[in-house]
């Protein structure tokens, strides 16, 4: 019996992934549990394993992006042919995917286009644009419809004609409202029991979406000259979207505070014989963890009409890579000693640079720490990593002068920069939290063990 190979859903936030490489050629024999393809998500690279023994049959080409649940290929028994209509895996109700959002449109077009030859990318684009594939002539091999065919059809077809393919699952008022506001109806979720999109659904989509047409136009500009263009893909695209969304959706403010680091420097000298010598960032993470325990407001997440104060303290540590950055998580950092934190950060940083982080290493962060001190930066304004409510930036340790009464003395100082969401808390408690971090770093013996 044939066994499908799906684009998996790795985590609640994943909606699509890139098929980076087939590890086994089509037609070759594979065994159960054997890796057959590698994929890349917005967080990690991983492999897909065969769930049965048989001959591998590719359906999709490597290098393309596919929605979670798309059948990438099949494992077939001897002499078996691949099914004509790939099945879609069941997805839990609380894990809404792009497939579920387009469920009605799929049902309408299935009878018309289940046997239509079209690339997965063309099918996905057709869903986004509300285009019926049965009305398009393909220019690919054997008349297969490709992305360029969908784009050409969409460009030459009036909006009113396209909307006709949607009006069976959208009211006329919804269609009119969508045209007026520039909304793609295929991206609108319905709240009615008959699954029909109403005008109120379109208005709710505009209210809740940070990517409406008018907002997109606010930061896109025509090129001012000629130059080399680089496609925004992969990790760089994810970072761009998340950081822009973060600044649009939160009321972010930043404060800066000087911290004297003489005692941390002295304590590290005394710890030179330790198996895992803590770095300066480890001291910061330890102090942040203790401060979050004393100021739990900062360990929160903003929901629609409420603030969720989280039970676990999991601190994300930004790690720079050649093509972007990742934020692996030190879990339950408030329950770890300084040396245990150092062992965790050393492991996570190494695996991040080797591309070997597991999904669980990247999920569940409740607060982030980002350091640019190694680049000679004194202070900066870090951007919050959604859905966190705050982030701490760490600058370099510099030589400075302190005054004891009228007597100057040489000291080492470091700037910490706290960015927080003003919707969650005000400036005074944010400053109090930063002062607690400062106190912990200036009295580092308190960070050695768990309180």
What CATH number corresponds to the domain at position 3? 2.40.50.100
Is the peptide bond between 73 and the residue preceding it cis, with omega within 30 degrees of 0?
no
- In this prediction, residues 416-441 reach a mean pLDDT of 96
Give a yes or no: residue 217 inside a domain: no
- In this prediction, residues 32-38 reach a mean pLDDT of 90
In the chain the first and final C-alpha atoms are separated, in Å, by 58
Give residue 260's pLDDT.
96
Give residue 108's pLDDT.
37
pLDDT in tens, 405-414: 889 999 999 9
Is 426 tagged catalytic? yes
- In this prediction, residues 355-378 reach a mean pLDDT of 91
Number of separate domains in the chain: 2
- In this prediction, residues 61-84 reach a mean pLDDT of 86
- In this prediction, residues 342-354 reach a mean pLDDT of 92
Cβ(56)–Cβ(30) under 8 Å?
yes
pLDDT in tens, 3-21: 899 988 876 567 788 898 8
Give residue 235's pLDDT.
67
Give residue 216's pLDDT.
46
Give residue 9's pLDDT.
81
Among the three residues 90, 106, 136, which one is the final residue of a domain in this structure?
90
- In this prediction, residues 280-300 reach a mean pLDDT of 96
Give a yes or no: residue 196 inside a domain: no
Lowest mean pLDDT among 39-43, 178-182, 396-400: 178-182
Q: At what angle do helices 262-270 and 280-294 cross, to 10 degrees?
A: 120
Among the three residues 90, 107, 138, which one is the final residue of a domain in this structure?
90
- In this prediction, residues 72-97 reach a mean pLDDT of 64
- Catalytic option among 244, 282, 426, 432: 426
Give a yes or no: residue 386 inside a domain: yes
pLDDT in tens, 178-223: 765 667 777 888 877 767 787 778 777 776 764 444 444 455 667 8
- Of the pLDDT bands very low, low, confident and very high (cuts 50, 70, 90), residue 88 is very low
Query: Smallest Cα–Cα separation from 213: which of 247, 245, 242, 181?
Result: 181
Looking at the predicted structure, is the pLDDT value of residue 114 above 60?
A: no
Give a yes or no: residue 119 inside a domain: no
Looking at the predicted structure, is the pLDDT value of residue 118 above 80?
A: no
- Of the pLDDT bands very low, low, confident and very high (cuts 50, 70, 90), residue 75 is very high
- Catalytic option among 42, 205, 422, 432: 422
pLDDT in tens, 249-279: 899 999 999 999 999 999 999 998 777 899 9
Looking at the predicted structure, is the pLDDT value of residue 448 above 60?
A: yes
Give residue 172's pLDDT.
61
Give residue 294's pLDDT.
96
Give residue 176's pLDDT.
62
Give residue 69's pLDDT.
87
Among the three residues 90, 106, 134, which one is the final residue of a domain in this structure?
90
Give residue 155's pLDDT.
65
Give residue 410's pLDDT.
94
Give residue 188's pLDDT.
84
Give residue 144's pLDDT.
67
Looking at the predicted structure, is the pLDDT value of residue 291 above 50?
A: yes
Is 167 tagged catalytic? no
Give a yes or no: residue 246 inside a domain: no
Most confident of 60-64, 123-127, 236-240: 60-64
Give residue 243's pLDDT.
83
**Domain of 422?**
252-447
Give a yes or no: residue 15 inside a domain: yes
Give residue 401's pLDDT.
92
Between 348 and 157, the more confident residue is: 348
At 355, which CATH number? 3.30.559.10
- In this prediction, residues 432-446 reach a mean pLDDT of 96
For the chain, what is the mean pLDDT? 81
Give a yes or no: residue 355 inside a domain: yes
Give a yes or no: residue 344 inside a domain: yes
């Amino acid at each position: 019996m044939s066994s499908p190979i799906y684009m998996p859903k790795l985590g609640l936030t994943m909606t699509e992934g890139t098929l980076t490489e087939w590890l086994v050629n089509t037609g070759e024999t594979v065994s159960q549990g054997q890796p057959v393809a590698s994929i890349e998500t917005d967080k990690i690279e991983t492999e897909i394993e065969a769930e049965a023994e048989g001959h591998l049959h590719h359906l999709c080409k490597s290098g393309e992006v596919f929605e979670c649940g798309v059948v990438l290929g099949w494992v077939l028994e001897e002499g078996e042919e691949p099914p004509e209509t790939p099945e879609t895996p069941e997805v839990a109700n609380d894990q809404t995917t792009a497939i579920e959002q387009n469920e009605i449109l799929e049902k309408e077009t299935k009878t018309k286009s289940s046997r239509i030859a079209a690339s997965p990318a063309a099918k996905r684009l057709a869903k986004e644009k509300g285009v019926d594939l049965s009305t398009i002539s393909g220019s690919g091999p054997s008349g297969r419809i490709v992305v360029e065919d969908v784009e050409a059809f969409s460009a030459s077809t009036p909006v009113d004609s396209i909307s006709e393919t949607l009006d069976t699952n959208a009211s006329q008022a919804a269609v009119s409202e969508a045209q007026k506001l520039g909304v793609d109806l295929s991206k609108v979720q319905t709240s009615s029991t008959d699954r029909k999109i109403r005008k109120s659904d379109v208005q709710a989509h505009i209210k809740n979406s940070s990517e409406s047409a008018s907002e997109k136009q606010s930061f896109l500009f025509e090129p001012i000259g000629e130059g080399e263009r680089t496609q925004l893909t992969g990790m760089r695209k994810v970072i761009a979207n998340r950081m822009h969304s973060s600044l649009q959706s939160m009321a972010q403010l930043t404060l800066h505070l000087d911290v004297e680091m003489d005692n941390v420097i002295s304590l590290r000298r005394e710890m030179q014989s330790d198996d895992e010598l803590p770095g300066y960032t480890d001291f910061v993470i330890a102090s942040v963890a203790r401060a979050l325990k004393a100021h739990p407001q900062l360990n929160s997440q903003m929901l629609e009409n409420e603030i969720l104060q989280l039970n676990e303290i999991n601190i994300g540590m930004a790690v720079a890579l050649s093509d972007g950055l990742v934020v692996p998580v030190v879990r339950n950092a408030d329950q770890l000693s300084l040396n245990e934190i150092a062992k965790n950060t050393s492991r996570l940083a190494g695996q991040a640079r080797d591309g070997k982080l597991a999904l669980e290493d990247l999920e569940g962060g409740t607060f982030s720490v980002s350091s640019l001190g190694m680049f000679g930066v004194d202070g900066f304004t870090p951007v919050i990593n959604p859905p966190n409510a705050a982030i701490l930036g760490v600058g370099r340790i510099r030589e400075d002068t302190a005054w004891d009464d009228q007597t100057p003395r040489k000291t080492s100082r470091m700037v910490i920069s706290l960015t927080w969401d003003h919707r969650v808390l005000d400036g005074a408690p944010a400053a109090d939290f930063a002062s607690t971090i400062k106190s912990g770093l200036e009295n580092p013996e308190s960070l050695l063990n768990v309180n």
